[in-house]
Amino acid sequence: MPRLVTVKIDGIEIRVPSGTSVAAALALAGKQITHRSVTGQQRGPFCGIGVCLACRVTINGQPGCRSCKVSCQEGMEVITDG
């Protein structure tokens, strides 16, 4: 069994296997929507490899991080703009 790490997503704690991407943790927490488009549409991860930037969220206070490109670390705080 892989080690579990705890991350906080929009204030709610969730435990995920280490190595899980932040995008995956969001989905596991039931959050498929990462942000709203410029015309207000709901959007979620899309390309899966860090190119489309649709999965941007705020991680540890850093805005605009691609959640598919970051692995969950113990204690990480993630804020979505869905």
CB of 64 to another protein, least distance (A): 4
Binding site for another protein (CB under 8 A): 2, 16-17, 19-21, 23-25, 27-28, 32-33, 37-39, 41-54, 56, 59-65, 68-71
Phi-psi region of 26 (alpha: psi -120 to 50; beta: other; left: phi over 0): alpha
CB of 39 to another protein, least distance (A): 4
Q: Which helix (H) or strand (E) holds 26?
A: helix 22-28
CB of 33 to another protein, least distance (A): 6
Task: Say how far residue 44 (Cα) sits from the centre of its chain.
Answer: 10
